[in-house]
Structure 1
Amino acid sequence: MRPMLATPGAHVPPGEEWVHEVKWDGIRLLGDSPEGRTQTRLTTRNDNDATRAWPEIAIGPARDVLVDGEVIALNDAGLPDFRVLMDRMHNRDAGRAARFAERIPATYMVFDLLRLDGRLLIEEPWAERRKILEAVHADGDLGSWQVPATYDDGRMLHEVTRDQGLEGIVSKRRISRYRPGERSKDWVKLAHRYRASLVVGGWRPEVGTEGGTERIGALLVGQPTSDGLVYRGRVGSGIGGKRAQRLGDLLRETGRNPFAGPDVDPDGGVPPVDARGTHWVEPFLVVEVETHGTAFAAASYKGRLRQPSFIGIREDIEPEDL
């Protein structure tokens, strides 16, 4: 099963039909803990098994449950930060995972209950699923997993999360059913940080590379659309060392420009200054990018990146998930 996805929004939905939650800056995981199993199976948004990476979370609860939630870890400022989790999310070695769990402890924030004791709950409205989830948590049946609070006042939560430096909020219709793998308008996300997951279509070598071996200095990234991959800009800040090496190991060159042209989108098409010297790659790798400017935070991501920085590789997401 793949998780239900939220639609980007421009404002907090008004009215009593909506409820609001904190948007966590972490990694989305489904936790499947059938009765009798001592370990929960953790899967990413694209249904990859991530159980080994999170041994402290994979200790299963006492009951048969299937839950949806976000794995988070805190930075030095005490705030949830995806960047803290980057090394952990790519690891599958049990020994390293145990050491990571000691050094970078993670918390599983469970916000939805999809199955309980063999009963599938996805056709129940959100309000009913939430009621059952809170009862199970109150009974102590979720172990160390946490169930974050919900709020009726979305505007207040939006302001508070912005002031506290949190990522944003997610608003949900109380009557919404759970639709696995779908991006639904019954869930709306509003981010304070101007961050997005984009697809790599090419890379440019680092300036002044010595020894005849080119190193990655910048990525050319785009936004998937129904008409193709629309170019959104070049990202160089934050790439270097192990990150550049990891990117080089993953990217597969094709020699063909994968971006849609200006006939598809006025902002599509790679400018000659960016295309010159670029190594074109297969557009399958998703990366997280942070940028300045409110235009990029809008649902359509119109416009180009402004002073962008590379945050990390999202191997838990595929282009079709965006």
Structure 2
Amino acid sequence: MRPMLASPADTTPRGEDWVHEVKWDGMRVLVDVHDGKLTISSRTGNDVTASYPELATLADQYDDMLLDGEVVALDGGRPSFAALADRMHVKDRRRAERLAAARPVTLMVFDLLRLYAADLTSQPWSARRELLERLDLDGRHWQVPPVYDDGDELFEATREQGLEGIVSKRRSAPYLAGRRSKDWLKRPHRTSVSAVVGGWRPEKTNDSGRLGAVLLGVPDGAGGWRFAGRMGSGIAGAAAVRLAEALAPLTRPTSPFSDPVPRIDAVGATWVEPRVVVEARTLEVTRDGRLRQPAYLGIRTDVTPDDLQEVDGA
């Protein structure tokens, strides 16, 4: 099963038909518990159980359940995708356990899709939520965050607290697995952008040839990729090595962008197939679609290029 996805929104819906939640800056997952075994899947269907050993004891809570939620890493009390990035790609059990001890994650559970072999996806959100709250899932590494009736108030509160935004959900809506629906609406505060990497440039400070910056692309509205700018901030050390390893097998002879890349950005670039999705924090997206002073947060293994094209066309 793939998770249900929210549609972008510029305004917050009002009225008794809607309920509102905090939008968490993390990794969307489905958590499947069955016969004492726990399986955690990303939104792309990859098994990421090994990355989060601190969630293993969720399997002791109930014999059979399927949860939808967001794995977050807290930095100074606030969710941080940059803090989570180091955890997302770890498959080695011992390393994952060390990272879990030093920087544990929290699972924010917001939906219940199955309980004791009963499929709940056809039930309205309100019924699923009532059952979820009755499970009393309140542990050291997981929780069921509250929901709110006043979306405008929550939107302003999350802005003041530096959180990512809100998600509004229609109370009567069933769970549409694998589909993006206007029964769920997401409204973010921060200018955080997911983009593909279409090329990279080496560090300027030496002749090592190590990756120093990447060239970013966003959907061009016609199924291709428009150049969105060059990003070097935040790409260093282990993050640069990991990104270089992901891009190494994707080299191609020509630019993957549908528009010309300015010479100042293209000089010395190695072009790559636009298959790696990264997350960037940026001051703003300019009128011509460029990212202003983007800073690297990490690779998004939970999002595909097709996902970006789908959101752009929503």
Q: 2:238 aligns with which of 237, 242, 245?
A: 242
Q: Is the 8 A contact 1:46 1:321 kept in 2?
A: no
Aligned residue pairs total: 303
- Residue 143 of structure 1: how far off its partner (Å): 8.8
Specify the alignment match of 2:212 in structure 1. Answer: 217
Q: 2:277 aligns with which of 263, 273, 286?
A: 286
Q: Does 1:99 align with 2:98?
A: yes
- Determine the C-alpha separation between the residues in 1 that align with 2:104 and 2:288: 37
Question: Normalising by the residue count of structure 1, what TM-score does the alignment of the two structures yield?
Answer: 0.89
Could you say which residue in structure 1 is the equivalent of 2:311? none
How far 1:226 moved relative to its partner? 4.3
Unmatched segments (≥5 aa) in structure 2? 309-314
* C-alpha contact (below 8 Å) 2:29/2:41 kept by paired residues: yes
2:297 aligns with one of 311, 319, 322: 311
Q: How many Å apart are 1:193 and its aligned residue? A: 1.3
2:257 maps to what in 1? 259
Amino acid corresponding to residue 274 of structure 2 in structure 1: P
CA distance in 1 between counterparts of 2:140 and 2:125 reads 22
Q: Name structure 1 gaps, 5 residues minimum.
A: 262-268
TM-score, with length taken from structure 2:
0.91
Whichever residue aligns with residue 46 of structure 2, its letter is N
Q: Distance in 2 between matches of 1:319 and 1:159?
A: 31
Q: CA RMSD in A?
A: 1.8
- Find the residue that maps to 1:250 and give its secondary structure: helix
Tell me which residue corresponds to 2:114.
115
| Structure 1 position 73, deviation (Å) | 2.1
User: Does 2:177 align with 1:180?
Assistant: yes
Deviation for aligned residue 1:270: 2.3
Deviates more, 1:269-278 or 1:108-117: 269-278
**1:227 and 1:260 in contact (8 A); partners too:** no
Match for residue 147 of structure 1 among 139, 144, 148: 144
| 1:67 matches 2:67 | yes
Q: Which has the higher helix share?
A: 2
**Contact residue 105 and residue 141 of structure 2 kept, 8 A:** no
1:40 counterpart SS class: strand
| Deviation, structure 1 residue 95 | 0.9
Q: Distance in 1 between matches of 2:134 and 2:54?
A: 23
Q: How far apart are residue 15 of structure 1 and its match?
A: 1.9
CA deviations 1:283-302 (Å, max 9, x no partner) are 11010001012x56xxxx96
Letter in 2 for 1:215: R
Take 2:252 and 2:305, find their aligned partners in 1: how far apart are those partners?
Answer: 17
Which residue of structure 2 lines up, in the alignment, with residue 265 of structure 1? Answer: none
Q: CA deviation at 1:205?
A: 1.8
Distance 2:105 2:273 in 1: 33
Q: Secondary structure at the match of 1:177?
A: coil
Describe the SS at the equivalent of 2:282.
Answer: strand
Match of 1:272 among 263, 269, 285: 263
Indicate the SS of the match to 1:65.
strand
Quote how far apart the aligned CAs of 1:144 are.
5.5
The Cα shift of 1:256 comes to 2.1
The one-letter amino acid of 1:148's match is: P
> Which 4+ runs in 1 deviate beyond 4 A?
none
After TM superposition, give the deviation of residue 120 of structure 1 in Å: 0.9
